[in-house]
Amino acid sequence: MRPYHTVLLMVDEISLSALLPDDCSPDLIRFVKMATPLKSFQILSQDTDIPLSLIFSIAAHLVYWGKARIIYPLCESNVYVVSPAASIHW
Domain ranges in the chain are: 6-71
Whether 34 shows a pLDDT value over 80: the answer reads yes
Residue 33 pLDDT grade (very low, low, confident, very high; cuts 50, 70, 90): very high
Whether 89 shows a pLDDT value over 80: the answer reads no
pLDDT in tens, 39-63: 999 999 999 999 999 999 999 999 9
Whether 84 shows a pLDDT value over 70: the answer reads yes
Q: Per-residue DSSP letters for the chain? A: --TT-EEEESS-HHHHHHHS-TTS-HHHHHHHHH--TTS-HHHHHHHHT--HHHHHHHHHHHHHTTSEEEEPPP-TTS-----TTS----
Q: What is the pLDDT of residue 90?
A: 62
Q: What is the pLDDT of residue 80?
A: 86
Residue type (1 letter), 45: S
